Structures are given as structure tokens and as C-alpha cells.
Structure 1
């Protein structure tokens, strides 16, 4: 009997957590969330619930960003959302490692990357 009760409680806990794990439709987001996550409007409803949940947590800090930070956030959001969980974890690890590099060297690397992007030839426009 005790095992049955334990099983029922476990099952109840699992079903309640599954109910909480449902995806959040775009139409149900707040105006602030729409503003923060607008680059993802078209694909939002197709994103996995776990990714939606994570993006909603990130969006909470959007209002406090500067205009430049908001632009950078919006520009990087579509590419970031297409990464797998493993790719995002690898990117976070690289970012943390980069933060340990002395600031002078970080600035030099950023400068080199920027120059490389400026020297990169423009992508040709696809012809119909």
C-alpha cells in the first residue's frame, strides 16, 4: 500500500511538472516580451519549451539594456536560437575563457575580428 501511495505521488508530481513545461504561444507573451524577442516572432511557436523558457528569462533584463546593447541583442538572437544546446554551452565556455584573458589582449582580438569582418567580401545577392 505504501508503495502504491509513493507511486501515485510520484506520478502526480510528474504530471504537474509536465503541465508546467508546456510551450508558451507567441500571442500570450507580454508587450515587453514581444519587444525583447521580436526577432524570433516567426519561429517562436516552433521553439522547444525549454528554449522558450530560457529566452523568457533572458528577456527579463532587456528593458535595462542600453540602445546599443538592445541592438546587439536583437542582432544575435536569431543565430543564437538556432544553436543546439551543446553549441550554446560551448559558446558560453569560450566566452568565460575569453573573459579570463587580460583586457588588453581581448581588445586586440576584438580589433582583429572587426578588421577581418570589414575585409570580408560582401555575399553576392542570389539571383532568381
Structure 2
């Protein structure tokens, strides 16, 4: 990894060694595009990387699985689902987020509500 790539991937340096070779290769591709991004895009990318680095390995695995399942949907279905979500009132969006968080907490190791 060269100095420019290290700068671009700074927010995920703490988890770099945990990544598979394939994942590292994908991150390096992102790093190679970094210098062509506008400053606000670079800032947004670094913020998202920092959020990614804060996730546990299990949370990152689940996020990848969710991404793959959504990516596999036809674009019109994916867009319709997103539009439906965006049309929800803020309190309903919060209820959806709370439900997802409760499900995530219930499946954590050591949780009393952990599924068998």
C-alpha cells in the first residue's frame, strides 16, 4: 500500500488486517479513486469508512449479506422499496429502525432473547 492509498484508507487502518484479501483488494480500488473525488465526496467516504470500522466483524458480515440481497433485486423493486421507505413519516421510520435494532440486540451472543 502506497502513501496515497494509506491516506485514503486511513479510517479503516485499525481493521485492515481483519479484512480478507478480496476485501482489501476492493478497498484499494476505492483508494485509487479517492484522489479524483471532490473534497465533499472524500469527506463523506471517510465518514462512512469510520462508521464501518466501528462495526463488529459480525455486524460487517451482516451488512455485506444485506447489501448482496438488496443488490440482487431488480432495480425497479429496489427503487420502489426505497421510495416506500422514504414516504414513511419520521415516527414510522424510527419504528422500523427500532425494530431492526431490537432484532439485532436479540441475536447478540449472551442475550437472553437469543434465538436457538
Q: What TM-score results when the alignment is normalised by the length of structure 2?
A: 0.50
Q: Which residue of 2 aligns with 1:86?
A: 58
The gaps in structure 1 that reach 5 residues or longer are 1-28, 121-128
Instruction: Quote the residue 1:6 is aligned against.
Output: none
Structure 1 contact 39–77 (Cα < 8 Å) conserved: yes
Distance in structure 2 (CA, Å) of the matches to 1:99 and 1:86: 20
The match for 1:34 is 6
Q: 1:103 aligns with which of 75, 91, 114?
A: 75
- Return the alpha-carbon distance in structure 1 between the equivalents of residues 68 and 20 of structure 2: 23
* Higher radius of gyration, 1 or 2: 1
**SS state at 1:77 partner:** helix
Instruction: State the 4+ residue runs in structure 1 displaced beyond 6 angstroms.
Output: 52-55
Q: Cα offset for 1:71?
A: 5.3
Tell me how far apart the structure 2 counterparts of residues 52 and 71 of structure 1 sit (CA, whole Å): 25
1:36-76 CA distances to partner (integer Å, 9 max, x unpaired)? 21334xxx4x5473249776433320223663775553231
- TM-score (structure 1 length as normaliser): 0.47
Q: Residues 1-128 of structure 1: matches in 2 within 5 Å? A: 30-40=2-12, 44=13, 46-47=14-15, 49-51=17-19, 56-62=24-30, 63-64=32-33, 67=37, 72-113=44-85, 119=90
Consecutive unaligned residues in structure 2, runs of 5 or more: 92-116
Q: Residues 96 and 51 of structure 1: is their aligned pair in 2 closer, same or farther, counting only changes over 3 Å?
A: closer
Aligned residues: 87
Contact 1:80 1:88 in 2 (8 A): yes
- The answer to which of 75-84 and 30-39 deviates more is 30-39
